[in-house]
Amino acid sequence: MIPLRDNNPTRHTPHVTWFLVAANVIVFTYEVLIGQMQRSPQWAEFVYTFGAIPADVVRVIFRPGEWVAYGLPGPIGTLFTSMFVHGGFGHLAGNMLFLYIFGDNVEDEIGHVRFLIFYLLCGLAGALVHIVLGMHSTIPMVGASGAISGIMGAYILLFPRARVLTLVFFFFITIIEIPAYWFLAIWFFFQFMGGMNSVGGSQGGVAFWAHVGGFLAGLWMIRQWTLRFRRSRTNWE
């Protein structure tokens, strides 16, 4: 399933969503310039420097003194820098499409600054789940999928009755409107099953457990923020 758009208008311009899209595109443009298409040594060095390598992250957690040996951004720093690195145009395009469709409404609901914090925390949560379930992997994890999955977790709670115009591939290709609740639930199911079929989350390819972790983190965080907002509003009234 490929989402094309939702029927959920926003009240304010989603400045942070557009900033995140622009930042990812700019970084990927740089990747192309240093040889991403040819998988050049310069591009490989870039990915291994700014992608999150589970084995390295685990190593410096237990041996903090070794962080200096890696230089900047260091294994812990890559938990954030990896969110802006992508493995190819399709990887980037898919992530930015989901961010564009679902991010603006979540930003509109919780505000610009909180949305940016929320995005980064979801990305961090997704990365940590991936690392915990594949802590011996030396394959860099890259992409904004964990953070965007968190946005989708927030969306399913905030806007379950919104509808998503979706391109569906089954025995034929068609475009239908699907309730956001079902679209996101089906998407999550496939991510979970993909994670279950992976070997401890340590192999190359799609980081399914990062998607699962980001989604659940987003669902939990938006639930907590929504409850606190309702309590504070009730107390104020």
For residue 234, what pLDDT is reported? Answer: 41
For residue 84, what pLDDT is reported? Answer: 97
For residue 227, what pLDDT is reported? Answer: 64
Burial class (CB within 10 angstroms; exposed 0-12, middle 13-18, buried 19+) of 180: buried
For residue 235, what pLDDT is reported? Answer: 41
Give residue-wise pLDDT tens across range 31-61.
999 988 888 999 999 999 999 999 999 988 8
**Is there a contact between 142 and 85 (Cβ–Cβ < 8 Å)?**
yes
> Domains in the chain: how many in total?
1
pLDDT means per 10 residues in the chain (237 residues)?
A: 90 95 97 89 93 92 71 87 94 96 94 95 96 91 96 94 89 88 93 79 72 95 75 44
**Is there a contact between 133 and 209 (Cβ–Cβ < 8 Å)?**
yes
Residue-number span of the structural domain to which 93 is assigned? 2-236
For residue 120, what pLDDT is reported? Answer: 97
Any idea what the CATH number is for the domain that residue 153 is in?
1.20.1540.10
For residue 228, what pLDDT is reported? Answer: 65
How far apart are the C-alpha atoms of 171 and 220, rounded to whole Å?
36
For residue 200, what pLDDT is reported? Answer: 47
For residue 203, what pLDDT is reported? Answer: 52
For residue 68, what pLDDT is reported? Answer: 66
DSSP string, the chain: -EEEEES---SS--HHHHHHHHHHHHHHHHHHHTTTTTT-HHHHHHHHHHSB-HHHHHHHHH-GGGHHHH-SSHHHHHHHHGGG--SSHHHHHHHHHHHHHHHHHHHHHH-HHHHHHHHHHHHHHHHHHHHHTTTT--SPB-SSHHHHHHHHHHHHHH-TT-EEEEEEESSSEEEEEEEHHHHHHHHHHHHHHHHHHSSTT-SSS--HHHHHHHHHHHHHHHHHHHHHHHHHHHHH-
For residue 63, what pLDDT is reported? Answer: 79
